[in-house]
Chains A and B, each alone.
Chain A
Amino acid sequence: MTHLRSKRLPAPRTSPHNVTAPLDPEEESRPMKTSIRNRRSRRAAIAVALGSVLALTATACGDDGSGSAGDKGNEGSGKGEITFWDNNGGVRTDIWKQIIADFEKKNPDIKVNYVGIPAASAQSKYDTAIQGGGLPDVGGVGTAMLAEVAVQGALEPLDSRLAKSSLNGELSEKLLDSSRAAGGGKALYQIPTSSNNGVLWYRTDLFQKAGLEAPTTWSKFYAAADKLTNKGKNQFGFTIRGGEGSIAPALDAAYSQSGVTSFWNGDKTTVNDPKVVAALEKYVALYKKDTPSADVNNDFTKMVAQWDSGTIGMLSHNLGSYQDHLKALGADRFRGLPNPTLDDGKRVQISNPVDGMSVFKSSKNKAAAWKFVEFAVSHEENSKFNRSAGQIPANTEAAQDAWIQKAEPTKLAAEALNGSDTTIVQLPYYLPDWNTISKADNEPNFQKVLLGKMTAKAFLDTLADQLNKAQADWKQNH
C-alpha cells in the first residue's frame, strides 16, 4: 500500500510559499514572506550553530589511542609527556596528584597525565586497550590482574631496570616474590607499592560488655561469635562474606585453621585436603547461627556497611576499610587484628593482592615512565601514598616510618605479614584463569554451601579439579 501511495501523487517541486500565500500578494504577502524568511534564516542559523557544536565536540581534542599489546614502543628521551593509569581511581586520585606534582617539580621536563579508572573496571579497561590500542606508558596493576595483562605481552620486564636502580634493596623481598610469582615467575612485571592484609575487625565495646577476650585465636573467635549473638535483638557475632569476592576470605579462614601451609602438593592443589575441608565446614556453620541470613549476598560494601551500622561483633575484611570504620564508629569502639592464629600461636594466611606499578611495552617513553615508577616507590612518596591508603608500604624504609607505628591495624598487619611465625599460602594469581575460577565459576557454589544445597567437600573438590586443570595447562605453556 505504501508503495502505491507513494506513487499516486508525486511530490511537487514547487516552492512552498504559496501554501500560505494570500489572494493579493502585492499588499498582504510582504510581511508574511518577511516573517517566513526571518524564521527560516533563524532556523538555518540555529541548525548551523548546532551542527558546528556537534562537529567540534565530535573532533575536539581527541587522540588516536595508539599503543596496543603488539607495539614494541621505545626507550624515548626520558623527557616529555607520559600517561599514568591509576587502577583504583577516585579514592586515590588526590594522593596520586600530590605525588605527580612532587615528581613534576623534581623533573620539570616530564609531564604526567593522570587517568583515574574505577577499581571494578580496571581489568576491562586494560583488556580493551591491549586489543584496541590506547595503553598508557605506566599504570597501576595489582597482582590479581597481573597474570592476565602479562600473558597478553603488554608489560615490560623490569628486572634489569630494578637491578640498576636506587630502589634495588629498598623493597620488601616478600612482596617482590609475590609480584614475580603473580607474573608467572620468569620476570618481574610489577614494582610493588603496597600490600594489603586480612584483618579481623572487632567491636571493643561489645567485647568488653560481654567480658570477652580479644579474638586472637580461632577458639576465641568461635566462642565470641556465639556469645555475641542474640537473634531476638538482631545482634550477631560475625558477618560472613557470601556474595561477590567470597572465595579468598573463605580460603583464608580454611587454610588458617587447617594448618596446611602450601597451596600445591606437587601438581595437585591442597584446597580439598581433608583438614581444609573440615576447617571450611566449621567456618560455614557460622552462617545463620551467628551471622545474619542476608549474608549470603554480602559483597564487601554490604558487609562493611552492616558492620559499621553497629549490631555485629566481628568482621573479616582487610586494611582497606579502616577509614570507613573510623568514620562510622570512632577510634575507641573497634580494633583491627591480623586474622586469628591456631591455639599454639602458629599463623597461616593466604597471600593478599599486592598493588604495584608496571611499565607498558608499547610506551614510546619508557625511560620517563621508569623514572616516575622509581620516584613513586621512593621512601618519602611510598610512605605518603600508603599513609593515605592505609596499607603496608613496599619500601622497607617507609615501613619503619612513625605513622605506621601509630596506626595499630597497619602495624599489626605489617608485623603479621613479615613475622617469622607467619606462613603465607601463595594463591595462584599467576594462572590466567584464576580470576574466572575464583569468581564466576565458584562464587555461586559457595552460596550453595552456605544455603546447605552443596557440601563443603563437593565445593572444594570442584574447585580443586578446575585448579588442577588450569595448572596443568599453564605448565604446558611455560
Chain B
Amino acid sequence: MIILFNYLIFPGFLFSACIGLIAGWIDRKVTARIQWRVGPPWYQNFVDIVKLLGKETIIPQGAAKLTFLLSPFLGLLSAVLVSTILGVTARLPLESFAGDLIVVLYLLIIPAIAIIIGASSSRNPLASVGASREMKLVLGYELPFILSIIVVIIKSAGTIQIGSILNHQINFGSNLASWSGILAFMVTIFCMQAKLGFVPFDMSEAEQEIMAGVFIEYSGLPLAIFKLTKAILLYTMPLLLIILFWGSNLTPLALIGKYTALLVIIILIKNTNPRLRIDQALRFFWGPVTILAVIAVILAILGY
C-alpha cells in the first residue's frame, strides 16, 4: 500500500509530474523574458496535456500498432520509477537498497530507448532520421555520464547505494567540494542537457529541419505521455545530480534552492546556444567531455 502510494502519488507520478510541468513553465517563461516577450501563464503546460488527452489518436498506416502505442508508457513507467526511488531516498536515506544506483542508471536510459522504439515503429522517414540521431546521442553521453558516476562511487568509499552515498556526504561534506567533484559535476551537467533533449542537443526533435523528428507521427494521448515523461525527467535529472554531488544538506528549503539553481543553469545553457549537428555533438561528448571525466576519475583515485 505504501509502495503504491509512493509510486503513484507522493514522490512518484503525481508529485513529480506537477513539479516537472511547473519547471517546464519556468523554462518557457524565462525563455520568453530573455527574448523580451511576456510568455505563457503558469498553467499552460497542464492545459497542453489536458488538450492532448482530448485529441484524436492517429496510428499511421503500416505502423507496428502495439509497439507504437506501448513505447510511450514504457518511458513513462521507468521515469516515474526513478523519481520514486530518488524521492524516497532523499527523504529517508536509510530506506534504500544495495545497488540502487545501478538500477537508476539503467532506468534513466529507458525513456530514450522508448523514444527510439516508438519513432522507428512509426514508419516515417523523418522519424527514423530522428531515431538514429537519438541513438547516436545516447551512445555519446552515456560514456562520460557513467565515468562521472564512478567518480562519485570512488569518493564515497566504493558504495553503490544512493542512501550510503548521501550518508557519506552528510558526514564528510558534499562531493562538490573537491576538484574531482567539480569536474564530474560539470560533465554531468552537459550529459543532463543531452538526456533532457534541450537545445544544444535537441537534434533528434529538431522542429525546423525534421519537423519534430521522433515525435512526428504521435498525436493525442501518446504525445501527452511523451510530454509527461520529459517533464518528469526535468524533475528527476537535477534531483539525481543534487543527491550525488550536492547532498550534504537536504532539508526541503535547501533542496528547492539547489533545484532552482540547477534549473537556471539548464535554462541559461538552453537559451545561449544554437543547435549542434549530430557529428559535432558526438565529437564534443567523446572528446573534451570524456577527457574531463577521465581526469576527474584520476583525481578522485589520487584523493583530490
Partners in one complex: no
Binding site for A on B (CB under 8 A): none
Binding site for B on A (CB under 8 A): none
